[in-house]
A and B are shown apart, each in its own frame.
Chain A
Amino acid sequence: MKLFEKIKAKKRQLMRFLFGSFSATALMFTFQACYGMPPEEQSSIFGVVLDAETQEPVEGIGVYIEGAFMRDTTDHAGTFGDIEPVFVASGWSHYQAHLWDTDSTEHGLYEAQITTLSYEDLHAPIQLTVNRVHEDE
C-alpha cells in the first residue's frame, strides 16, 4: 500500500514538473490569492568562479550568497548555480558571496573570501574570482 502511495506521489510530482516546464502553463504556478498581494519575483542565480591570476575556471569552490538562499559548489567548468527559482530579497542594499575551498589541494588550494554583490549583479551571470595559495607562501 505504501509503495502504491509512493508511486502515486511520484506521478503527481512528475505531472507538476511537466506542467511547469511548458511556458503556456507556467503562469498557473505564479498565482496570487484573490485577496492577497502578487507573488514576488524570482530568478535563477548562476555564475562562474575563476582563478584571479590565470582567469581559469576553478573546481571545488563552495559558494554561498547571503540574501539569495543559494549554496553550491563549482563543477569542473567552475560554474555554480541553481536551476530552481531562487528567492532574492530585493530590499537588501548589498549581498555577500562567501567563497571557500571545499577540496583542499585537489584542484589547487584557494583562500576563503567574501565578495560584495549588488542586486543587479544577481540578475546576470556572476563572475567571481579566488586567490590561489602558492606553495611558497
Chain B
Amino acid sequence: MKTNRRNPLKRWLFRVFRRNETEIHELNYLFWECTWRCNLSCRHCGSDCKAESHVVDMPFQDFLHALEPLEKRYKPYTTTIAITGGEPLLRQDLAACGRALRQHGFRWGIVTNGLLYDEARHRELVAAGMGSITVSLDGLEATHNWLRNNPHSYQRALGALRLIAASGQLTYDVVTCVHQRNLLELPQLKEVLIENGIRHWRLFTIAPIGRAAANGDLQLTRPQVEEMFRFIAETRREGRIDLKFSCEAYTGDYEEQVRDSYFFCRAGINIGSVLINGDISACPNINRSFVQGNIYQDDLMEIWDQRFQVMRQRDWMRCGPCARCRDYRQCLGGAMHLRSAQGENIMRCLAVR
C-alpha cells in the first residue's frame, strides 16, 4: 500500500520543521575519520580505504583541540561523535580517545566491520563510555564474505553483534548494504538476526561512489529497489524486528512506510565531520570537493557558522531530473553524497512512484 499522497498536513509540518532546523543548523553529530587503515578490502567500500594506508592516523589531541569551540557552544549531551574510518578498531588508543571524549561530556560511538570486536574489546570500550555502535552484516555467510573479501568476516561480525545485543549496555544496530546478490536473502537474514537476539536493523543501498563505482553489479535495478522497500514495509508491519531504511535517499511513495520519519539529508545542517587530514566537511562519504575548511588552519565553529551554505541552500540541486520532479519540494534534491560536485546532477534517484 502506497501512502505518499496522504497526510498533506504532516508533510507540510515536516517541511516547516526542516526549514527551521536548517536555519538553526546546530551541530549535533560530528564524524571523526580517525584512520584510513582498514583490515578488509570490501568490494563496495565508499571511501576506498586500504590495509596499509600511506595516510597516518590523526593524533587524537589534534581532534580534541578542534572540539574546544564546539564544547563552549553547546551542552555536551547534545553532540554525538561518530568515530569512523577506515576501521576504527585498528586504533590501539580508541578506548583512551573515547574516555577523553566522555570526560569532556560528548557522547560517542563507532561504526565498525566487527572483525576485531571481541569480548575484551567490548568491555574496554564500554568502560570508556562508548554509548552506541553500528556493525555491518551484508547478507548470509557466503555473500557477506564475498562482499567483504574475507572468509572469517561473517562469523566475526555476527559474534560481535551477539555480544553487543546480549550485553544490553549499548544502543546499536546492524547495517546491511543491499545489492543484487543479497536482495533475496533478506528474509533469511532477518530470521538469523532475530534468532541471535538482534533487534535493530537498517538497510542501505550501495551508492556508486568509491570502490563501488566500478562495481555496477552492486547497484539495484528500479524493480529491485521497490522489492526492498516492500520487504522493509512488511517487516515493519510484522513488528518482530526494528527495521528501517537508512536516511540515504528519498523513497517516494514509501516515505511513510520504511522509516520513522521523512527523508531529511542533514549534511551541513546538523552533521559535520573532521576528516583524516583535518578537513572539515559534512558526512565523510560526501565528495571531497565540498570540503569547507581545515582544523589545522580554521576554527571548527567559525567554519560551521560561516560556511556550509552549499548544503543549507540547496536550490542548486534543482537541476537535471530534479528540475522537473513533482516531489522536489519534499525531497530537496536528495542526499549530498549523491552529488559529485556543486551543479552536478544527482547520481541516482531511489524514489518509487
- Whether B171 pairs with A38 at a CB distance below 8 angstroms is yes
Nearest-Cβ distance from residue A82 to partner chain B, whole angstroms: 10
- Whether A89 pairs with B24 at a CB distance below 8 angstroms is no
- Whether A28 pairs with B261 at a CB distance below 8 angstroms is yes
- Whether A35 pairs with B129 at a CB distance below 8 angstroms is no
Residue interface mask B58-95, A partner, CB < 8 A = 1: 00000000000000000111001010100000000000
Q: Taking the complex as formed, is A87 at the interface, i.e. its CB lies under 8 A from any CB of chain B? A: yes
Q: Which of A12, A36, A90 has the most CB of B within 10 A?
A: A36
Which of B13, B16, B283 meets A33, CB within 8 Å? Answer: B283
Interface residues of B, Cβ cutoff 8 Å to A:
10, 13-14, 16-17, 20-21, 23-24, 29, 31, 46, 75-77, 80, 82, 84, 102, 105, 107, 109-111, 125-134, 169-173, 200, 204, 246-248, 260-261, 264-267, 270-271, 283-285, 335, 337
Interface residues of A, Cβ cutoff 8 Å to B:
12-13, 15-16, 19, 24-25, 27-28, 31-42, 69, 84-87, 89-93
Which of B13, B14, B84, B127 meets A36, CB within 8 Å? Answer: B84
Complex A-B, nearest 4 residue pairs according to Cβ-Cβ distance, in ascending order: A87-B77, A40-B131, A37-B134, A91-B126
User: Mostly helix, strand, loop or mixed at chain B's interface?
Assistant: mixed
CB-CB under 8 A for A40 and B109, given A69-B77, A91-B130: yes
Nearest-Cβ distance from residue B178 to partner chain A, whole angstroms: 14
CA distance A27 to B247 in the complex (A): 13
- Whether B17 pairs with A25 at a CB distance below 8 angstroms is yes
Nearest opposing residue in chain B for A90, CB measure: B169
- Please indicate the chain A residues that have their CB under 8 angstroms from the CB of B267 in the complex: 33
- Please indicate the chain A residues that have their CB under 8 angstroms from the CB of B284 in the complex: 35
Nearest-Cβ distance from residue A16 to partner chain B, whole angstroms: 6
CB-CB under 8 A for A15 and B20, given A33-B82, A33-B283, A89-B131: yes
Known: A35-B84, A35-B246, A40-B80. 6 other contacts (CB 8 A): A33-B29, A35-B285, A38-B171, A87-B76, A87-B105, A90-B126
Nearest-Cβ distance from residue A46 to partner chain B, whole angstroms: 16
- Whether B283 pairs with A35 at a CB distance below 8 angstroms is yes
CA distance A52 to B136 in the complex (A): 51
Nearest-Cβ distance from residue A7 to partner chain B, whole angstroms: 13
A–B complex contacts, Cβ < 8 Å, 17 sampled: A12-B20, A12-B23, A15-B16, A15-B17, A16-B21, A27-B260, A28-B261, A33-B266, A36-B29, A36-B80, A37-B172, A38-B109, A39-B171, A41-B171, A86-B77, A89-B131, A91-B125
Q: Which of B29, B77, B129, B247 has the most CB of A within 10 A?
A: B77
CA distance A121 to B29 in the complex (A): 28
- Whether A25 pairs with B13 at a CB distance below 8 angstroms is yes
- Whether B129 pairs with A38 at a CB distance below 8 angstroms is no
- Whether A16 pairs with B20 at a CB distance below 8 angstroms is yes
- Whether A37 pairs with B173 at a CB distance below 8 angstroms is yes
- Whether B24 pairs with A69 at a CB distance below 8 angstroms is no
Which of A25, A34, A40 meets B246, CB within 8 Å? Answer: A34
Nearest opposing residue in chain A for B282, CB measure: A33
- Whether A32 pairs with B247 at a CB distance below 8 angstroms is yes
